[in-house]
Amino acid sequence: MNSRYILALAIGTSLCFAGMVHGAAAPADTMNAGQKADLHKTIETCAACHGINGRSVSPTFPNLAAQLAPYIELQLHAFKDQSRADPDAQAYMWGMASQLSDANITALAAYFSAQPAAAGKPGNPALISQGKSLFDQGAPAQQIPPCASCHGANAQGMATFPRLAGQHAPYLLRQLLVIQSVLRTAPVMHGVVKNLTRDQMQALVAYLESI
């Protein structure tokens, strides 16, 4: 009996692990029953803010559903080693991440990345269309590159370039501001956002929340 089959038997139709059983390299495959139970408890802790499926109901808390696993892992390590140090990271995530083993970080990233994405929300059409054009084309006069060149044509993300589609606008706006002011270290993004105005940020996040 291979380990994936044993895992499937052990957890049956458990909602929490449904996404992992089919994953090609599901890290939970190598966990014993006690470690799996711990992981399940941890997911429930995360769910208090991020939602059990990673689709959070409060715009303060980012959706994790369908976020890319390599990006989630990178961020959890950055909270754990305290290199992501904006005020909300410190207040909400440093303590959480300090408790996570490397194996749990990998398993949590696999779990949340396998959850279906949150649906986009309608918003102000004029703002959304301004945001879409900035996202697709950038603003050459201000040396702002097209966001789509890294985050993907539909803001679906790629590897450590995060998915932005369907993310809560207030969360995204806060990130653009803390990245611009270098409270959040994100070297590639600093150059991108340094000349963005607050109005342009509002348009971009309205567009991203809507798709």
Where on the chain is the footprint of ligand HEC (CB under 6 A)?
42, 45-46, 48-50, 60-62, 64, 67, 72, 74-76, 86, 88-89, 92-93, 96, 108, 144-145, 147, 149-151, 160-162, 164, 172, 174-176, 186, 188-189, 192, 204
Q: b/e per residue, 4-19, with b = 16+ CB within 10 A?
A: beebbeebeeeebbeb
* Nearest distance, CB of residue 39 and ligand HEC, angstroms: 10
Nearer to ligand HEC, 49 or 103 (CB): 49
Please tell me the distance from the alpha carbon of residue 108 to that of residue 23, in angstroms, as a whole number: 13
> What tokens appear for 198 in the block?
């607050």
Nearer to ligand HEC, 21 or 66 (CB): 66
Q: b/e per residue, 176-200, with b = 16+ CB within 10 A?
A: bbbbbeebbebeebeebbeebeeeb
Nearer to ligand HEC, 160 or 202 (CB): 160
Please tell me the distance from the alpha carbon of residue 94 to that of residue 89, in angstroms, as a whole number: 6
Tokens 């089959």 locate to 5
* Nearest distance, CB of residue 123 and ligand HEC, angstroms: 16
Nearer to ligand HEC, 3 or 197 (CB): 197
* Nearest distance, CB of residue 167 and ligand HEC, angstroms: 6
